[in-house]
Structure 1
Amino acid sequence: MSALTSFESNQKSNNIGPQLKNADTSITKDRSILFHLKTLYLFTKSDLKPVIVPQAVFALAMMFSGSKLGVPVTNQLTTAYISTRVLLMFAWLWIQLLVVDISNQRSPESVAEDAINKPWRPLPSKRISMEEAQHMLRILVPAVVAISVAMGNFTPCSIIMVLAWLYNDLGAGSASLLQRNVINAVAISCFGWGALIVLFHLEGTAATLLRNWTILTATVILTTVHAQDFPDMPGDRARDRKTIPLVYGEGWTRAGLAILIPLWSIACLVFWNIKSPVAWIPTLLVGSAMSLMTMVRREYSYDKIVWKLWCLWMTQLYLLPIFSART
């Protein structure tokens, strides 16, 4: 099961009522507060690094590049303010991710696949039932929306909630490759957008530069996120799941990714008018290594490395505003 976000995941079944009624009843009964906290953590465990870390870096890089965006620079803010806003940012990112992950992992198909690939997740490990997961969502969704309203970032939250509903409940994830990839890119960008608003309360006042950067990074994700599909090809082929490598051919898809990675690297460096080799060299090195490995090493173990390099590469791109020579 792919691990960028829960938007890029299992196909959804709309008729789960019978399965819920006939579900295995061997659910863990001995539950404490720590048990429930661990359950919530396990829902999001596999997406903490590929989702929360890069999007937090995206927002923090903007925070430490405030003068280029027309927002308060960090030396004008108190340590207490910065610390509080950063903690709130991580909390906001996590509760959004929790809703998305529960929504995605609760389908019978997801539980069956996770029983093989990620048996430690709450549903396949029988920590909670699918019915309980649905009940959690009925509580969490309005709570998360209310918290987002209080934090001043209702818009990105509402977009994430709608996209999760479209993907997991209305079958957009299996409708077409284009719909799935667009939903992935927009959702991930909304995580970063919302995190930034928590830091700076930029709702409705974000600079044109910030908007353009968000659009650019969303486009980068849209056109390269299929790097995660290569290590999953055997399982996807067995389940007849439509992914870019399987639909358009592995060779063409690898070649396209190998070309796009260095092009997007240069485009992002130029966007921020970066002169420093400290930014240019690592970004191009990681991108080049990923492109080369994608074409030369067509093996499962190396495809997993390529996916990890993609996550590192995106994090590097998110850090670029710090090195900007813009004034």
Structure 2
Amino acid sequence: MHTAILFTWTDYKTIFIPITAFACAIGPLRSVANLLQACIWIWIHLLLCNVSNQARSKEEDAVNHPWRPIPAGRITESQGYILRWAIAAVCVLWSAGYGGGQVLTSLCLLIITFVYDESGASKHVIGKNVCNIGGYVTFEIGATKIIATQHSLDAVAIASIIISGAVIFTTIQAQDFPDVAGDAASGRMTFPIYAPELSRITTLVALLSWSVFLCWYWTLGPISSLVLISLGVYTGARYYLCRQVTEDKKSYLVFSLWLTLTHVLPLRVRTGFFSA
């Protein structure tokens, strides 16, 4: 269990928490039992993605995350490959309890993960972002269906997922700034490596633009709008002005907070929250 937690540790703040919050807002949440089931579904699929990715990134992790199971020697790369397929089977079987649609969601995530890790998509700027969109959207669809106990999504949920995918595509480079050294060592071409200055300007502009757009789209109240825009400006400014690795790690934490907040904005439509 300790090894499994180490595999998923860095993605709780950027995947597990935002996706869970998104599903609760979009569903909306029906019961604590539904929340627990959704959390389990998200976690085992997150474990699948991370084991698959880390089995291919030993060199990068040795620089950026030496405490992860493979560079730390808790598990070998070959054992990681075996574990990946074992977890894939668990994910599909777990989803089968929710119907064929949920199984399809698991299979889609499995395909996206395979393409990301095995076809070299993770080493290309565009391919990496496209797979990230696919992964996030798949997580959101699967978790929301469990939270809402429904086999289909309504117009609000569909719009929210589309917007979320666009936000991820234009801002996901935020996670790459602290890992430039390890990514370069493994031959991975991320946006911050490809265009160091442009990537920081783009992040600043994207965070500000999305904050303003989301305030308008979800018709947030003045106080809620001020909070979101202020957080977006602060996060973007940090990425542009504070460029040390330690500062980028702190900026990533702030970005995760901003991302989580954007994921729960549909509560404005569902419940009237954020109207102040």
- C-alpha separation between the residues in 2 aligned to 1:119 and 1:146? 32
Give the gaps of 5 or more residues in structure 2. none
Superposition map of 1:89-104 within 5 A: 89-104=38-53
Length-normalised TM-score, structure 2:
0.89
Please say which of residues 298-307 and 186-195 is displaced more in the overlay.
298-307
SS at match of 2:265: helix
Any idea what SS the aligned residue of 1:126 has?
A: coil
Give, in angstroms, the shift of residue 300 of structure 1: 2.7
Distance 1:88 1:326 in 2: 23
Give the counterpart of 2:255 among 292, 306, 310: 310
Do the aligned residues in 2 keep the contact of 1:272 with 1:325 (CA within 8 Å)?
Answer: no
Aligned amino acid, residue 312 of structure 1: L
Measured against aligned partners, the alpha-carbon deviations of 1:93-116 in whole angstroms (never above 9, x if no partner) come to 000011111111113xx2233234
**Counterpart selection for 1:145 from 82, 89, 92:** 92
For the structure 1 residues 105 and 235, does the alpha-carbon distance in structure 2 shift closer, same or farther, using more than 3 Å as the test? closer
- Aligned residue pairs: how many? 270
The Cα RMSD (Å) is 2.1
CA separation in 2, counterparts of 1:154 and 1:325?
27
Stretch moving more, 208-217 or 126-135: 126-135
1:170-181 to structure 2, matched below 5 A, reads 170-174=119-123, 176-181=124-129
Q: Which residue of 1 is the match for residue 34 of structure 2?
A: 85
The runs of 5 or more residues in structure 1 that have no matched partner are 1-36, 67-73
In 1, Cα distance between equivalents of 2:239 and 2:72: 35
The whole-number CA distance in structure 2 between the counterparts of 1:123 and 1:299 is 27
Percent identity, aligned pairs only, is: 27
Q: Are 1:320 and 2:251 an aligned pair? A: no
Counterpart for residue 201 of structure 1:
149
Would the aligned equivalents of 2:178 and 2:249 in 1 still touch at CA under 8 Å? yes
- Write out per-residue CA displacement over residues 165-199 of structure 1, whole angstroms, 9 at most, x where no aligned residue: 1111222222x311110101120121122111111
The answer to which structure has the higher helix fraction is 2
Secondary structure at the counterpart of residue 124 of structure 1: coil
Check 1:41–1:228 CA distance in 2 against 1; reply closer, same or farther (3 A cut): closer
Once the two structures are superposed, the pairs formed by residues 17-56 of structure 1 within 5 Å of their partners are: 37-56=1-20
Judged with a 3 Å threshold, the aligned counterparts in structure 2 of structure 1 residues 140 and 304 are, in CA distance, closer, same or farther, namely closer
| CA distance in structure 2 between the aligned counterparts of 1:234 and 1:106, rounded to whole angstroms | 19
- Equivalent position of 2:76 in the other structure: 129
1:164 aligned partner: 113
Residue 210 (structure 1) aligns with: 157
Equivalent in the alignment of 1:69 = none
